C-alpha cells in the first residue's frame, strides 16, 4: 500500500494492478501497417546496434526537434516574423526524424528486451512536449497570433479523440490502445 503520512493513495488491489500492467500498443492504420512499421522494423534490424538504449533513441529524436524549434525562436521570437525557407524545410525534416525515431524506440525496446514502464513514460512525455513544439512551430510558420495556437492545440486534441472514438483508426496515424 502506497502511503504518504497516514493517508492511503493506492489500494493493495491498485498496487497489484500497477505491478501487473503490460503496455499494448498497436494501430489499425493502413499507413502505419504498410509504411511506418515496416520502415522502422528495417531500420532497427539493420542500423541500430543492440547496445543503443531505446530511451536514447527517443531523446535524440526529441533533441533534434527541440533544436529546430530553438532556431525558430531565434529567427522569430514572437512567432510573427517570416521564417526562411530553409528553416521551414528543417522543421519538416526534424518532425519526420522525430516521428521515425519515435516509432523505432519501442521496436528497439522489444528487440532488446528492455521495455519498461519508465521507458513508456519517457516516450509519452516527449510526445506530449513535441505536440506543443509542433503547435508553436506551426504558429511561427503561418504567423498566427497568440489565440490561434491555442485553437491549433484544441484541434489536435479533438482530432486525436475523434478518430479514436469514431473508429476511423484505419485512416488515422498510430494510436495507442
Say if 123 falls within a structural domain: yes
Tell me whether strands 2-4 and 7-10 are parallel, antiparallel or unpaired. antiparallel
Domain total in the chain: 1
Whichever domain contains 78, its CATH number is: 1.20.120.1760
In the predicted structure, residue 110 carries a pLDDT above the cut 80: yes
108 touches 58 (CB < 8 A) = no
| Residue 65 a catalytic site member | no
C-alpha cell at 116: 519498461
Question: d(Cα 156, Cα 12) in Å, to the nearest integer?
Answer: 37
What would the pLDDT profile of 111-137 be if each residue is shown by its tens digit?
A: 999 988 889 889 999 998 998 898 889
Catalytic, out of 69, 124, 148, 161: 124
What would the pLDDT profile of 133-175 be if each residue is shown by its tens digit?
A: 988 898 889 887 666 666 766 666 666 655 555 555 565 555 5
23 touches 117 (CB < 8 A) = yes
What would the pLDDT profile of 46-101 be if each residue is shown by its tens digit?
A: 999 999 999 999 999 999 999 999 999 999 998 889 999 999 999 999 999 999 99
Strand, helix or coil at 21? coil
Say if 100 falls within a structural domain: yes
**Whole domain around residue 97: which residue ranges?**
31-166
Please classify residue 152 by burial: count the beta carbons closer than 10 Å to its beta carbon, then call 0-12 exposed, 13-18 middle and 19+ buried.
middle
What would the pLDDT profile of 8-27 be if each residue is shown by its tens digit?
A: 777 888 888 877 877 676 67
Say if 45 falls within a structural domain: yes
> Which pLDDT score is estimated for 169?
59
Could you tell me the pTM of the whole model? 0.77
CA 41 to chain centre: 18
Say if 96 falls within a structural domain: yes
Strand, helix or coil at 169? coil
Amino acid at each position: 500500500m502506497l502511503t504518504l503520512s497516514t493517508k492511503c493513495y493506492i489500494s493493495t488491489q491498485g498496487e497489484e494492478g500497477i505491478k501487473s500492467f503490460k503496455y499494448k500498443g498497436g494501430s489499425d492504420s493502413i499507413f502505419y501497417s504498410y509504411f511506418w512499421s515496416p520502415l522502422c522494423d528495417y531500420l532497427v534490424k539493420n542500423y541500430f546496434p543492440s547496445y543503443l538504449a531505446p530511451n536514447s533513441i527517443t531523446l535524440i529524436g526529441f533533441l533534434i526537434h527541440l533544436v529546430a524549434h530553438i532556431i525558430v525562436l531565434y529567427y522569430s521570437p514572437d512567432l510573427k516574423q517570416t521564417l526562411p525557407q530553409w528553416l521551414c524545410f528543417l522543421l519538416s525534416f526534424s518532425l519526420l526524424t522525430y516521428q521515425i525515431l519515435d516509432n523505432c524506440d519501442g521496436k528497439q525496446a522489444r528487440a532488446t528486451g528492455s521495455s519498461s514502464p519508465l521507458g513508456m513514460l519517457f516516450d509519452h512525455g516527449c510526445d506530449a512536449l513535441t505536440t506543443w513544439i509542433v503547435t508553436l512551430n506551426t504558429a511561427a510558420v503561418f504567423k498566427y497570433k497568440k489565440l490561434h495556437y491555442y485553437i491549433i492545440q484544441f484541434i489536435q486534441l479533438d482530432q486525436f479523440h475523434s478518430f479514436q472514438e469514431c473508429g476511423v483508426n484505419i485512416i488515422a496515424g498510430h494510436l495507442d490502445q
